Structures are given as C-alpha cells and as structure tokens.
Amino acid sequence: MSTLRDSFTYLDANASEPIRPEALAAMTQAAQVAGNPSSVHRAGRGARAELETAREGLAALFGVQAENCVLTSGGTEANVL
C-alpha cells in the first residue's frame, strides 16, 4: 500500500542542509578574529575590516553598492528591518 510519504519530496532544507565546505572554511577563519567591529581598539578595527571585506564581497557578488548591503544577526532581525 502506497502512502503519501512514499511520494513525498522534501524541499525545506533550510535548517538541515549540509554546510558547503567553502562556507565552513570562511566561518572558521572569521571565528579566529576577536573583537567588536564597533570598537575603536586594534581588535575592533580588525573585526571591522573583516566585516567590511565580507560586505564588499557580497556587494560584488550581487552587483550592488557595498553600503546597500545590510548585514543582520539573523532572520528575525532581518524581518524586523
């Protein structure tokens, strides 16, 4: 006897999709940088530089101005924004 599950294709992989190796490498590298990007001390400036480099890369990828790339901490913050 066939069930609905037998013909089901799972398309909602947002929370369970395996991370791409490139993304894992970038996250691992970013985790090595300590500092609050809003701070003016050396560690903060280093974190800000990493953040701005990421913003510029995203802007180039999507063909937009870097100042128009707003980075948020997650989905809820993005939705509220």
Answer yes or no: is 59 within a domain.
yes
Domain extent at residue 27: 19-80
Q: What is the pLDDT of residue 21?
A: 94
Nearest to residue 69, comparing CAs of 53, 50, 80, 56? 56
What gap in Å lies between CA 10 and CA 15, rounded to an integer? 12
Given a cut of 60, whether residue 1 has pLDDT beyond it is: no
Residue 24 lies in a domain: yes
Angle at 15 between CA 13 and CA 17, to 5 degrees: 50
Residue 65 lies in a domain: yes
Which one-letter amino acid corresponds to residue 76?
Answer: T
Question: What gap in Å lies between CA 81 and CA 78, rounded to an integer?
Answer: 5
Distance of alpha carbon 34 from alpha carbon 46, whole angstroms:
8
Q: Across the chain, what does the average pLDDT equal?
A: 86
pLDDT in tens, 52-71: 999 999 999 999 999 999 98
- pLDDT tens profile 25-44: 988 988 888 889 999 999 99
Number of domains composing the chain: 1
pLDDT bracket for residue 5 (50, 70, 90): low
